[in-house]
Amino acid sequence: MQRTSSNIYCGGNTLIFMKARIKAGIVGGTGYTGAELLRLLAAHPQVEIKIITSRNEAGTAVADLFPGLRGHVTLKFSAPDEKALAACDVVFFATPNGTAMTQAPALIEAGVRVIDLAADFRLKDARLWQQWYGAPHACPELLKQAVYGLPELNRAAIKNARLIANPGCYPTSVTLGLLPLIEQGLVDEQHLIADAKSGVSGAGRKTETPLLLGEAGENFKAYAVPGHRHLPEICQSLEQAAGKKVGLTFVPHLVPMVRGIHATLYARLKDHSVDLQALYEKRYADEPFVDVLPKGAHPETKSVRGANVCRIAVHRPQGGDTAVILSVIDNLTKGAAGQAVQNMNLLFGLDERTGLDGIALMP
């Protein structure tokens, strides 16, 4: 089922055809990612939020749980309602892993576009999914048709997708940082290193001892060194770009800040004559949400706070054979909800920048 209603408005001397406002539903809108999605969709000029579900908060006004949305979102959280969700044009799942896979098939059958912000559809191999997420996949038949929602890699496929697997936060920063080198075959793909740091919101809105202020504050630590769930996701995208297997050492760290990811990436160059700055500037010249900084720059996480942008700087220390790429994003925006809205814009034929032109918060 395709929804195609439209209206017309006059912009200057040009008649512009616009689709009717997109009816959006959100499943699981009480976490940090859900709150960020609400913030962005509430200000989106072409979206009407129709339903926000939460079993635990059903009947609670959204603005009571998130006071920052007072005057912008008047809805109450409601219990999951298949009929109401099926009446939407697009449904976002801002839920824990394992939820979307049980509800997405029926929505897709009803003609709804689905964007999953969790990991249910990111990996193409159901056995690999079970290995990393500890349970059988509920609808492996949908894995092949799901489109991995990194616009800088899969823009054309996203536009025609019925099901979008929104990328993880670490994979977004790491993949965008390494992509130009991998695509051109300029580095040793078997010995890539990603040293990444994330703020505590990356772990979600939950009560766990390591995330308490008294534990995470004034502290810095690595975790999941033997293997993080985002590792196969990153490798899958890099292998798509390389056309062959890659070898990646990925080590995530928790840092005492709320939002942001900083990925420091290392790759051994095969061609020492390549102009890295020119390579990155050319690759991302037409990408609205990737900002390649001037030569010698060092991007900061605060420069992307609340903005749907990845800022990248590329270095070659001492003129040696190692490329060092610095990549920063806001894990809740370009690493989650902002990228989901970017994907929605592409799905419905909008300029992908619509509703995402906010400037990063400073300080």
Using left for φ > 0, alpha for ψ between -120 and 50, and beta otherwise, residue 250 falls in beta
For residue 253, list its beta bridge partners.
197, 222
Note the maximum CA span of the chain: 62
For residue 74, list its beta bridge partners.
none
Residue appearing with tokens 């806001």: 330
Sequence-separated (6 or more) residues with CB below 8 Å from residue 126: 136, 137, 140, 143
Q: Structure tokens of 168?
A: 């993880």
Q: How far is CA 67 from CA 47, 73, 95, 316, in A?
A: 21, 10, 21, 46
Q: What distance in Å separates the CA atoms of residue 87 and residue 323, rounded to the nearest whole number?
A: 49
Task: Give the catalytic positions in this structure.
Answer: 169
Give the residue ranges of DSSP H helices in 160-303. Answer: 169-183, 213-216, 230-242, 276-283
- The pairing of beta strand 310-315 with beta strand 147-148: unpaired
Q: How far is CA 247 from CA 174, 323, 347, in A?
A: 14, 16, 33
What ranges make up the beta strands (E) of 94-159? Answer: 113-116, 147-148
Sequence-separated (6 or more) residues with CB below 8 Å from residue 109: none
Burial 287-326, CB ≥16 within 10 A → b, else e: bbbbbbbeeeeebebbbbbbbbbbbbbbbbeeeeeebbbb
